[in-house]
Amino acid sequence: MDFRADTILSYGGKNVIPLPNLARELKRRIRNRSAKAGVMGLGYVGLPLALEMAKEGFQVTGIDLSKEKVDSINRGISYIPDVPSEAVSAFVSSDKLRATQSLGAVGDLDTINICVPTPLRKDKDPELSYVVAAIEVIRNHIRPGQLIILESTTYPGTTRELVMPILEESGLHAGTDFFLAYSPERVDPGNSTYQTRNIPRVVGGVTPRCAEMAASFYRQFIDKVIPVSSTDCAELVKLLENTFRSVNIALANELALACPSFGVNVWEVIDAANTKPFGFMPFYPGPGLGGHCIPVDPYYLTWKTRLNGCESRLIELASHINDQMPAYVIRAIGDALNKKRKCLNGAKILALGVAYKRNTNDIRESPALNILSGLHDKGAAIFFSDPYVPSIQIQEKTISSIDLTPALLQSMDLVSILTDHSSFDYSMIAKHSPLIFDTRNALQNFATTDLMLL
């Protein structure tokens, strides 16, 4: 593309092009797939995203501090169940995907998607050190015309109040010299129907031009893109989605605690209510919330609303109810053993499933870990079986998964189903377990006499 000499500016000793022309050039490179795309953070969000970009012909660089992840990708091996190794290997072999630990690689990229963790501190306040570290790296290598998109879940205002000022310390300005947007990830690990490509994308920019550029980029590899008016709006969309789930799961959990006093089965109640063709959506109780989103996101929202002088009592109460479920499960297991004239101290307890949800290897925030830790504190001998998780750490002790056999089940005092993986042989579990505490209603179709439900 030709540019008039009087449109050329200088930045860092190099000739650069003003944003309107940069915008046209970047759009052209995005459309013809010559733009170099980058993803910072190669976990459950970043790796599937990088593959979708590579599928559409982009040359993608994945950046991660984990040597194990980088080496695995460059060998063509996936560490995420939803991502087949064959796909990773094919894109690596065709030079469409590479991984690196080098943070300086961001300087060679045209687009950068930031997919780093946003956990909670011990006091339940947002922990944005990973985001800040990533943004500071980009600031140190930024150049005019780059598109930078934050995908990590965070509170409303993060992109505008935190990310943009750090990037502008470079002397460049968002909306004038580079493009800055926010698009919340919506990954659902283990979901075979909805994956990165066919989950609609919400996109907000710090300026309309930034939003337009980000939306144009996503439309190359995402089926549907929904632009919104601001990054604050896009950030709040994600928090609403997961707070909605948190509040309704809390209602189901509270109902589960109340149902024994009525002498009814909470699962039967919910399933019967779900026959209503309007005005009801089923949510189910469980041993607690897990994963990176639902246990965390409501706290990001309540933290920000407190700063703004607002109360979020319903959201805070729902989080409290869900956070108490692991402790309830521990007490219920103790009560179940007591009814069999057995003591929790010294009992052999087998947990079936420790991932936070079925058919994944994701143990982030998994309630099973808190339950096993609590049982260990009370003197129980704890064991677990999970086809997706080879080992876990419980209080600095490494525990390995055990193959599920009739003999193993018969040797236990109690078996607790904490994650209902579809690969478990529930008929065998029902037949050979001496006492079962089922937190997922996994045995609803199997006859067993010594069964207790959540």
3-state helix, strand, coil in the chain (%, to 5): 40, 15, 45
- Looking at the DSSP bridge assignments, the partners of residue 452 are 437
Could you give the residue ranges of the DSSP H alpha helices within 128-220?
129-141, 158, 164-168, 208-218
Give the contacts of 448 (CB within 8 A, at least 6 positions apart). 430, 431, 433, 436
Vertex 50: Cα angle to 45 and 56 (nearest 5): 135
Give the contacts of 310 (CB within 8 A, at least 6 positions apart). none
What does the chain come to in residues? 454
Cα distance between residue 237 and residue 228, in whole Å = 10
Q: How far is CA 88 from CA 55, 70, 80, 84, 179, in A?
A: 10, 12, 11, 7, 29
Q: Tokens 């589960």 belong to which residue?
A: 256
Other CB atoms within a 10 A radius of the CB of residue 241 amount to 17
State the DSSP H helix or E strand holding residue 416, giving kind and residue range, or none if neither. Answer: strand 414-417
- Looking at the DSSP bridge assignments, the partners of residue 415 are 350, 436
Q: Tokens 């189903």 belong to which residue?
A: 417
Candidates 212, 154, 213, 149; CA nearest to 181 is 149
Choose, from 210, 293, 310, 343, the residue flagged as catalytic. Answer: 293
Whether 144 and 222 have beta carbons less than 8 Å apart is answered as no
Buried b (16+ CB within 10 A) or exposed e, 333-342: bbebbeeeeb
Q: Quick check: is 293 catalytic?
A: yes
What residues act catalytically?
A: 293
